[in-house]
Amino acid sequence: MRFISTKFHAVEDYATALMLPILPRSLGWSDQVTNLMDGAACMVAGQSMLTNYEGGLIRVMPMKAHLAADGLLGATLVAAAAVMDEEPTEVRATLVGLGLFSIANALFTKTRPGSAVAASRESVRRFERPMDLERLRTGSRGEENGVAPGTESPAALNRLNSQAPGLGTLADQANKGNLT
C-alpha cells in the first residue's frame, strides 16, 4: 500500500540530501563513510531535481525510476554497512537505518505525482499537438466553435491537418524556420 505522497517524498529527498553530508562530519566518522554519504547526497539531490514530481526542477525522470533508484541506494547503504566491518557499530547501524529508510520510502511512495504536475504535463501535450493553420494565422484560441484548443478528437485533428497539407505540427514548422 502506497501512502506517502510524491510531494512529501520530494521534501524528504531534499532534507536527506542536506542531512547526509552533515551527519558524518558532525559525528567525526571516517573519510570512507563521509565520502559514501557525500555520494549518496549527490545522487539524491540530482535525481530529485530531475524527477517528474512536485520537487523536480527539470522533470525528465519518471517517478517509478526515481523510486527504483531510491531502493537501489538503500540496498547499497545496507551492503556498505555489511562490508565496512572496521567501522564502529553505531556507524554501521546508522548506514543500515538510512538504507532501510530509503527502501521503505521506495516501497510506500505513490508512483504518480499530484494534480499540479499532471496539469503541467497536459499543457505540454497540448502544445505538441498539430494545430489549425487558420488558428496560427489569426491567433484565434479556437474556442469560438465550443471546443477548447488541444481537446480535439484525432479525427478533427486529421481534418485540421488536411486543410493545410504539408504544414505538419507546430514543432515541425519551428524546426523548419517557418514560424516567426
Please give the pLDDT value at position 173.
53
Q: What is the three-state SS of the chain?
A: CCCECHHHHHHHHHHHHHHHHHHHHHCCCCHHHHHHHHHHHHHHHHHHHHECCCCCCCCCECHHHHHHHHHHHHHHHHHHHHHCCCCCHHHHHHHHHHHHHHHHHHHHECCCCCHHHHHHHHHHHHHHCCCCHHHHHHCCCCCCCCCCCCCCCHHHHHHHHHHCCCCCCHHHHHHHCCCC
Regarding whether 92 and 11 lie in a shared domain, the answer is yes
Regarding whether 71 and 144 lie in a shared domain, the answer is no
Find the distance separating the first CA and the last CA of the chain, reported in whole Å: 51
Phi and psi at 124, nearest 5°, equal -65, -45
Please give the pLDDT value at position 63.
94
Regarding whether 80 and 41 lie in a shared domain, the answer is yes
Please give the pLDDT value at position 104.
96
Please give the pLDDT value at position 1.
85
Regarding whether 43 and 89 lie in a shared domain, the answer is yes
In sequence order, the β-bridge partners of residue 154 are none
Question: Mean pLDDT, to the nearest integer, of 63-78?
Answer: 96
Regarding whether 137 and 68 lie in a shared domain, the answer is no
Please give the pLDDT value at position 101.
96
Residue 180 pLDDT more than 70?
Answer: no
Which residues, in sequence order, are CB contacts of 97 under 8 Å at separation 6+? none
Q: How far apart are CA 51 and CA 63, in angstroms?
A: 6
Please tell me the pTM assigned to this model: 0.64
Question: Mean pLDDT, to the nearest integer, of 85-92?
Answer: 96
Question: Mean pLDDT, to the nearest integer, of 40-68?
Answer: 95
Residue 141 pLDDT more than 80?
Answer: no
Task: Tell me the percentage of the chain whose pLDDT exceeds 90.
Answer: 59
Regarding whether 158 and 83 lie in a shared domain, the answer is no
Q: Is residue 159 very low, low, confident or very high in pLDDT (cuts 50, 70, 90)?
A: low
Domain boundary among 62, 81, 115: 115
Regarding whether 141 and 58 lie in a shared domain, the answer is no
What residue has cell string 537505518? 97
pLDDT in tens, 109-131: 999 887 655 545 554 444 444 44
CB 98 within 8 A of CB 73: no
pLDDT in tens, 89-104: 999 999 999 999 999 9
Q: Give the structural domain span for 137.
A: 129-176
